[in-house]
Structure formats: structure tokens, C-alpha cells
Amino acid sequence: MLFKFKSQATSDLILLEADARRLLKIILGDDPVKGIVQAKDLPGAIEALELAVTKDEADRKQRSDKSLALVSGEDDDPVPLNSVSLAQRAAPMLKMLKRCLAENSDVVWGI
């Protein structure tokens, strides 16, 4: 299933369901299937997403360091890294949100 995000300020953004739900949960704190982020709520949505990206990057670095320790024989528990980071998944959404904020436009979505 795909989610389609729309606004008057940008072209449509289409995401796979799992990625869209993950980003919506970060932005809104719940998991709506259809909805809207009003222009007045965009600064909080952008801040929440940027904070989650920063935290994810720190976690990835920590897991990477732990994996390096495993290679050198210091640890016994391998820690796999996701091949695509949250920063990569969130980049198009952040771009859309920032553009909508600049043009005072709402973001709406549906399936």
C-alpha cells in the first residue's frame, strides 16, 4: 500500500506504507491513515522529525562502533545496521514540510 502526501506548495510525495507510518508516528505521535498537518503545526512536525533523525544517527554510530568492537574481538553480540537510515527516508518529507512552512500551506495525505 502507498501513502500519497499532497500540498499546494509542492508536488505529491508517495511513500511505502511502512515508511509513511513511521514518519507520521514521529511527526504526530499517533498513526493516522488519513489526515492533515496544518501550516501552523509544521514547525513542531519539522522539529520532531529532525530530532528523530539526529537520535537515529547517534544510535547508528553507536551500533557501528559496537560492530567494529565485534570484529576486533571485544564483543560477542553482533548488531546489524539498517541499510537505509532514517535520514535518507525522511529527507523528502522534511523537504516537503519546510517548503510548505515557507509557503504557509497544509500537508494532507491518504491511501
- pLDDT tens per residue, range 65-98: 776 666 555 555 555 556 789 999 999 999 999 9
pTM, 2 dp: 0.82
pLDDT of residue 103: 97
Taking Cα atoms as reference points, which of 15, 90, 18 lies closest to residue 52? 90
pLDDT of residue 64: 77
DSSP code, position 2: E
pLDDT of residue 47: 97
pLDDT band for position 37 (50/70/90)? very high
Beta carbons of 48 and 54 less than 8 angstroms apart: no
Q: At what angle do helices 86-102 and 42-71 cross, to 10 degrees?
A: 160
Cα 78-63-90 angle, rounded to 5 deg: 125
- Please determine, for residue 31, whether its predicted confidence score (pLDDT) is greater than 70: no
